[in-house]
Amino acid sequence: MVRLQLARADEAIRSAAAEQIKKVALRLFAERGVDGVTVREIAAAAGQKNHGAVGYYFGSKEALVRAIVMDGAMALDRERNAALDALEVQGGPRTIRQVVDILIEPVLHLPDEHYVQFIVIFAMTHRDMMLDAIDPAWNSAYGRCLDHLRRLMPHLPAALQNQRFVFMGAYISAVLSARQRALADHSRDHPMWGNDASLEHFVQSLVALLDAPTDLPPALLAGLPKREGVMLEHPGPVG
């Protein structure tokens, strides 16, 4: 019994140390990028006396990065899928706005304010590694959202729908990354980013982007690709 209690206590200590390392690493990666931070710096910032702590708890820096990517991806996917389930039971989503809210709201309520900034930088510098790190099973809600958007955008041909989705992903990532970077600076107020009206305006502008009519001539439409490769089929966790 005593041995079991000691083993559980040791496991709790190990788990707390690993979580602290992830938290500190996430902040440093968001500030300086994955390549700009060493495992020794992570261990020191996490209060670990052993400079090999990252290797001890995660095996490697790459494994630590993958764990951080998946933490956020899983949290977003759970929230988005739960929201979709609730609407689908009622016959929805019925509007583009409802789908956009499902995409945006969980990002705003992530437990760590640094995740969006981290994932945007990581996607730009290590996209193949990011895509490899995300288990498709934990990115299913984004695909469900796209399916609903296709249904709600019948005025656009498939090629233009797909292009709008690429625009949407880039727009969500860029704006929310800028917002969270600003709000992470607690040394001053941020009248624009801290204003609910600004956030609402962003959401409305995203709906407008998706719903806007087009008058592209048929010749240009014919030249559009039918799919957009990994940017559409395997987006990042945020968008």
221 pLDDT tier (thresholds 50, 70, 90): confident
113 pLDDT tier (thresholds 50, 70, 90): confident
pLDDT at residue 228 in the model: 55
pLDDT at residue 2 in the model: 40
194 pLDDT tier (thresholds 50, 70, 90): confident
pLDDT at residue 192 in the model: 85
CB burial of 160-189 (b: ≥16 within 10 Å; e: otherwise) equals ebbbbbeebbebbbebbbebbbeeeeeeee
pLDDT in tens, 14-70: 678 899 999 999 999 999 999 999 999 999 999 888 888 899 999 999 999 999 999
Count CB neighbours of 221 within 10 A: 12
pLDDT in tens, 125-147: 988 888 888 877 778 999 999 99
Residues 173/238, Cβ–Cβ less than 8 Å: yes
pTM summary value: 0.85
Domains of the chain plus CATH, in order, are 1-59 (1.10.10), 65-233 (1.10.357)
Q: Give the residue with greater pLDDT, 120 vs 4.
A: 120
pLDDT in tens, 174-191: 999 999 888 878 888 888
pLDDT at residue 1 in the model: 54
pLDDT in tens, 197-215: 999 999 999 999 999 998 8
Tokens representing 169 are 């992903």
% residues pLDDT > 70 (the chain): 89
Residues 92/145, Cβ–Cβ less than 8 Å: no
Helix axis angle for 96-108 and 196-211, nearest 10°, is: 140
pLDDT at 77 exceeding the cut of 60: yes
